Amino acid sequence: MAEAKITYRAKDPTKCPLCGHQFYHEVMHTGGGRMNAANLSDELHRGYNPSQKYGAVYPLLYPVVVCPQCWYAAYPKHFMVPGSMSKDMISTLQKKSDERKKMIRPLFDHVDFKRDRTLAEGISSYVLAAACYDEFPKTLSPSFYRGLSFLRAGWLARDINTVQPNEHYDYMAEIFLRKASFFYYEVLIRQEEGSETLEDVTHYGPDIDTNFGFDGVLYLIGVLQLKYGGERNSAKRAAILKSAQTTVSKIVGFGEFSKGKPSVLLDLGRELYNAIKKELQALG
């Protein structure tokens, strides 16, 4: 019997705008019962049931394009954007190639973007993307993409923890999710001060199957702050949670506001509103 393939290589090569290396990005086959959708988590993450034929599949391993030579990483629509990549940006990203590789070393023993991706490459692809987006212009919504990348890295770190428990991957997940909570909150702050826009974002995700739009971002700000918010000062934490609660109330608002919004988001939003309320009472 032929091996049950989960992925294939893109027919057309991708050329790295930093080092000129040409490679074939790995893409997931979507049909044939590979994606056996399960529940949606309170973080809007879609679970997939393993199938007998394909085993466990992780569709999130493949969205980020990574150059196997210099480890430049970005989402497909940004991997090569000639008009938006200044000479300075390209030269900084070129210089940081070694830094990127060093950054991943403490996380996994072996990472190789020439081979078919494993959870190690999948997680690393998001950590690398988060680092590369730090150099991206404000018009391309870098805070949003950094938050999204750390969120997905956190989910995949949880997956690897399930496969290989007792290797501290749960701790790794916690760190990534804390970073995600920071950057999602930054999205809100930068929107308000007008220093970054979300105009360039077409798929807010946060997962690949559903686009919850800007409402999803607002919801995630609340859920991530509640679960992973890094603020230790209780007065400051209360202030952040209060602002998150106001934001969430806008999504689940009654009457006109909630028209046309996915009911799953409204239900989760209401639960979140009450959970934040409880936490605020506990903080005093």
CA distance 26 to 261: 34
DSSP symbol at 4: -
- Contact, 47 vs 38, CB < 8 A? yes
Does the footprint of Zn ion cover residue 14 (CB under 5 A)?
no
Q: Does 90 bind Zn ion (CB under 5 A)?
A: no
Which one, 69 or 197, has the nearer CB to Zn ion?
Answer: 69
Using an 8 Å Cβ cutoff, are 145 and 75 in contact?
A: yes
Rg (CA), the chain: 19
Count of residues near Zn ion by CB under 5 A: 8
Give least dist CB 13 to Zn ion, A: 13
If binding is defined by CB under 5 A, does position 243 make contact with Zn ion? no
Query: Do 30 and 54 contact (CB within 8 A), yes or no?
Result: no
Given a contact cutoff of 8 angstroms between Cβ atoms, the answer to whether 196 and 143 are in contact is yes
From 70-78, 162-170, 240-248, 262-270, span contacting Zn ion (CB under 5 A): 70-78
**Residue 18 or 241 with smaller CB distance to Zn ion:** 18
Tell me: does residue 73 bind Zn ion (CB under 5 A): no
Q: One symbol per residue from 48 to 67: x for binding Zn ion (CB under 5 A), - otherwise; what is it? A: -------------------x
**Is residue 172 close enough to count as binding Zn ion by CB under 5 A?**
no
Interacting residue with Zn ion among 18, 111, 130, 265 (CB under 5 A): 18
Among 14, 41, 51, 69, binds Zn ion (CB under 5 A): 69
Q: How far is CA 72 from the centre of its chain?
A: 17
Whether the CB-CB separation of 161 and 170 falls below 8 Å is answered with: yes
Q: Which is nearer to Zn ion, 125 or 143 (CB)?
A: 125
User: Which of 126, 119, 120, 64 shows the shortest CA–CA distance to 100?
Assistant: 126
By the rule CB under 5 A, 21 interacts with Zn ion: yes
- Cis bond leading into 262, ω under 30°? no
Interface contacts to Zn ion, rule CB under 5 A: 16, 18-19, 21, 67, 69-70, 72
